[in-house]
Amino acid sequence: MLTNYIKIAWRNLWKHKLFSVINVFGLASGLVVCFLAIAHIKGSFDYDNFHPNRDRTYRILTDVVGKDNDVTPFATSPMPLAEVLKREYPFVEEATRVSKTYAEFSSNQKRFMTMSYAVDPSFFRIFGYKLAKGQPATEPNTVVLTRETAEKFFGTANPVGRVLQNTDLGPITVTGVLADMPAKSHLVFDMLISLQTAWTPQQRASFADWRNYRTGLTYVLLKPGTPADALEKVLPSVVHRATHTLHFKDEKGYSLRVQPFTKLSPARQELMHITHEPQIGGLLLEASVGLLTLLLAVFNYINLTLARSLSRAREVGIRKVAGAVRWQLVGQFMAESVILSLLSLGLANVMLEFIKPMPFVQKWLINGVEWNWQLTAICVVFSVVAGLLAGIAPARVLSGFQPSQVLRSQTGLRIIRGISLRKSLIVAQFAISMIAMIGLLSMTRQMNYMATADYGFRRDRVLTIPLNTIPAQRLANEVNRLAGVEHVSGTSELFGSFGYGHFVKQKRNALDSSMAFVWATDPQFIATMDLTLLAGQNLPPATADSVASGGSRLVLINEEAVKTFRLGNSQEAVGQSLWLNDSAEVQIAGVLKDFRYTSFAWSIKPLIIQNNPGQFRYLTVSVAAGAEDAVLADTKRIWKRLSPYEPFAGQWYSDFLEQRHTHPEDRDFMTLLLFLSFSIACLGLLGMVTYNTQTRVKEVGVRKVMGAQVSQIVWLLSRDFVRLLLIAAAIALPIGYLAGYAFLSNFAYHVPLGFETFALCFGSLLLLGGLTIGIRTYRAALDNPTESLRSE
């Protein structure tokens, strides 16, 4: 029986090739997106699976109770906790502290910003990070590097025993190089520094403060056979003993709880200061996108199968008269859907090979995921289940036909529910596709706006050069001699990036500190970037004293800083003082007109500009019109002479802003999803129009014989489908508006949701749908009526 099912199913699919192709392509497109989501979801459960004793390892979380009694969970915990647990509780085998830090290190005439973790010696006993060379960093002023970081600093040379330099920590000796991790980890870093290192007094005080629950992570390894409850029960008493005499500034207090390491990824709860494990919300969103794309394809299958119900009606009637029961007919139709799903699985695998190399797919969805037999089996089972689910509705409808009705007259058969269902599915397909198009267009317009908008500073014909180990003044002197160079200046960061925030007070002992961004530049920077000085004077040149003390005492601020620190107006602010991080008093030399210097997600924040050559990381060069190519070529030659072993990484400021904000890999992947959704919808519509014209071929012949024009027949055949497109647009436009507004509201400065966005989306919907309908109906209208009426 099963063999007969498969044979008959294959014959039916081969007989209706167009409908089969539409269904196979649609299901394959939906399966591709689902497979990518499945791979990412599976990979999220594989995080940190290379660590030994995962079932005995736990992370300590902190639940902070605010003044308003709101509880905020943190992935971090107080740094002294690990030592107390290891010392006082015998069931704790190991405990370790992990503290994230961003710092700049230099060595081998190279200088890089790195993301590091400071760790205890026990870190290497709890976790399974293998070493390819050397030993763990357990002694003061030692570090182990990842392979990528070691190659950045030392190339192919052995880095063990070499020294890295850091301004605060001094010389740090490399003791080892980590092997490549066999799976992704929730801890992402460039190096691991020993916590035994001589940190600054402020850092050491922070590590010992029980009120500071934001600085570090705490991991505990329990002895074999110890339940997690044993650790959970002692945490309240630990917190009480440590904090009952402490005064908290912004919160009532906190409690600690245990998170099993095996349940760390994916993250079931949103935590503050979370590490790099995937969030369950993001995974659900990915799964929803995949299922939605697959659902569009399932709509096609249901639509086209029900549309062909009249041609299958007599087959069902004859089978029932011959003795077939309903479950046998259901099995026949389900066999067809399973064969379709298997064909779609094969096409999906081919499509997947073309999509895998896309940067977005490699970076976010399948990077590091091993496509093994388990994942393949999951995809095969998913495909078969999808095919079965897609075939349930048509199988139930078709197998329910009554022989007395279908064998008496095909023309008398009516499936009211089926017809309304098919129309609803077409509307849903195009409405979903149009909503996705509005969202994608809103995102693209916002990214282009951020890449091309007027920031308030000069962006054209400005060359940015990362300095690495070349002294800023030396390179500036060389470049300043070139013809076509207008101004040259050094800066710590590039405007348009996020920058670094500092706590700033108007008075040293004041309690009302505010966050401000601090940039290091020189006096030529205002002229280089065409900034406007509203009051006061420019920064003074750097002196030996100012360099030794960490920057000039005179600073520039923007208008927003004047408002935030309540300094009066721009003229009144000049000469007043501010305190940076409670340690450095600076005096305001001048006030700059506000300009956008960070992400467009934020409104303009207070800005402080200080002349501090020790922090210069970039050289900015303004170039006269027409001299861009010559200056760039000459600058490359200068760079090659000063730093022959480092590639030139300079770029124009406009290119930096475009790369910083456009995210082409994200946009390309979203465009692919949109293309798939519209392709599925248009192919489904094509199948419906094709079947509709086939069933009305004699009607068309009679109308042509009676004198109907081609345009009249085209409108007759297509008007119902055009009406469905208009209904889809009426549903999609308001929902798309809400989706676009929700996305753009994340930005302090954004493009308006203008009429052109909806006009373009609506026009695209009508164009694609109209072409799909019009081409097929026009061909039907041109057919010779003698062919269709020959048998009448």
Task: Kindly write down the DSSP assignment for every residue of 185-240, as one continuous string.
Answer: -S---SEEEETTS---HHHHHHHH-TT--SSEEEEEEEPTT--HHHHHHHHHHHHH
In the 8-state DSSP scheme, what is residue 330? Answer: H
Instruction: Based on the fold, state whether residues 15 and 96 are members of the same structural domain.
Output: no
Give whole-number Cα distances, 193 to 103, 129, 172, 357, in Å: 11, 14, 8, 35
Instruction: Based on the fold, state whether residues 631 and 503 are members of the same structural domain.
Output: yes
The more confidently predicted of residues 786 and 585 is 585
Instruction: Based on the fold, state whether residues 479 and 558 are members of the same structural domain.
Output: yes
pLDDT value at residue 410: 47
How many Cβ atoms sit within 10 Å of the Cβ of residue 603? Answer: 11
Q: Answer whether residue 622 is part of any domain.
A: yes
Instruction: Based on the fold, state whether residues 725 and 623 are members of the same structural domain.
Output: no
Q: Answer whether residue 458 is part of any domain.
A: no
How many Cβ atoms sit within 10 Å of the Cβ of residue 539? Answer: 21
Instruction: Based on the fold, state whether residues 242 and 159 are members of the same structural domain.
Output: yes
Instruction: Based on the fold, state whether residues 438 and 534 are members of the same structural domain.
Output: no
Region of poorest pLDDT, from 89-98, 540-549, 696-705, 758-767? 540-549
Instruction: Based on the fold, state whether residues 236 and 314 are members of the same structural domain.
Output: no
Instruction: Based on the fold, state whether residues 93 and 175 are members of the same structural domain.
Output: yes
- Domain boundary (588, 617, 645) is at 645
Q: Answer whether residue 272 is part of any domain.
A: no
- Domain boundary (612, 645, 678) is at 645
Alpha-helical segments (H) within 400-415: 403-406
Structure tokens of 786?
């003698």
Q: Answer whether residue 461 is part of any domain.
A: no
pLDDT value at residue 418: 43
Strand partners, 620: 464, 489
Instruction: Based on the fold, state whether residues 291 and 387 are members of the same structural domain.
Output: yes
Mean pLDDT, residues 449-475 taken together:
86
CB 332 within 8 A of CB 7: no
Q: Answer whether residue 38 is part of any domain.
A: yes
The Cα–Cα gap between 693 and 770 comes to 15
pLDDT tens for residues 495-546? 877 666 677 877 766 666 777 888 889 899 999 999 999 988 988 887 665 5
Q: What end-to-end distance do the CA atoms of the chain give, in Å?
A: 40
The Cα–Cα gap between 151 and 166 comes to 18
- Domain boundary (236, 263, 290) is at 263
Backbone angles phi, psi at 284, to 5 degrees: -65, -35
Instruction: Based on the fold, state whether residues 220 and 344 are members of the same structural domain.
Output: no
CB 596 within 8 A of CB 456: yes
The Cα–Cα gap between 187 and 51 comes to 12
pLDDT value at residue 314: 66
CB 253 within 8 A of CB 211: no
Q: How confident is the model at residue 633 (pLDDT cuts 50, 70, 90)?
A: very high
> Parallel, antiparallel, or unpaired for β 163-166 and 170-178?
antiparallel
**Above 90 in pLDDT, residue 463?**
yes
Q: Answer whether residue 784 is part of any domain.
A: yes
**Above 90 in pLDDT, residue 61?**
yes
Strand ranges inside 349-473, DSSP E: 462-466
pLDDT tens for residues 241-259? 888 888 777 788 889 999 9
pLDDT tens for residues 642-669? 888 778 888 998 888 888 777 777 677 7
Largest CA distance in the chain: 106
Q: Which helix (H) or strand (E) holds 176?
A: strand 170-178
The alpha carbon torsion through 785, 789, 790, 791 (nearest 10 deg) reads: 160
Q: What is the domain count for the chain?
A: 4
pLDDT value at residue 312: 64
Average pLDDT, the chain: 81
Strand ranges inside 19-91, DSSP E: 57-66, 71-74
**Above 70 in pLDDT, residue 147?**
yes
Q: Answer whether residue 717 is part of any domain.
A: yes
How many Cβ atoms sit within 10 Å of the Cβ of residue 321? Answer: 11
pLDDT tens for residues 716-756? 778 888 888 888 889 989 998 898 888 888 888 888 887 88
> Parallel, antiparallel, or unpaired for β 216-222 and 57-66?
antiparallel
Q: Answer whether residue 651 is part of any domain.
A: no
- List the domain range (segments joined by +) for residue 394: 1-47+278-414
Q: How confident is the model at residue 38 (pLDDT cuts 50, 70, 90)?
A: confident
- Sequence-ordered list of residues with C-beta below 8 angstroms from that of 69, at least 6 positions apart, any chain: 252
Give whole-number Cα distances, 254 to 59, 68, 309, 693, 772, in Å: 16, 13, 65, 70, 62
Locus of tokens 């498969």:
6
Instruction: Based on the fold, state whether residues 65 and 196 are members of the same structural domain.
Output: yes
Instruction: Based on the fold, state whether residues 68 and 213 are members of the same structural domain.
Output: yes
pTM over 0.75: no
> Parallel, antiparallel, or unpaired for β 110-119 and 131-134?
unpaired
Percent of the chain with pLDDT over 70: 87
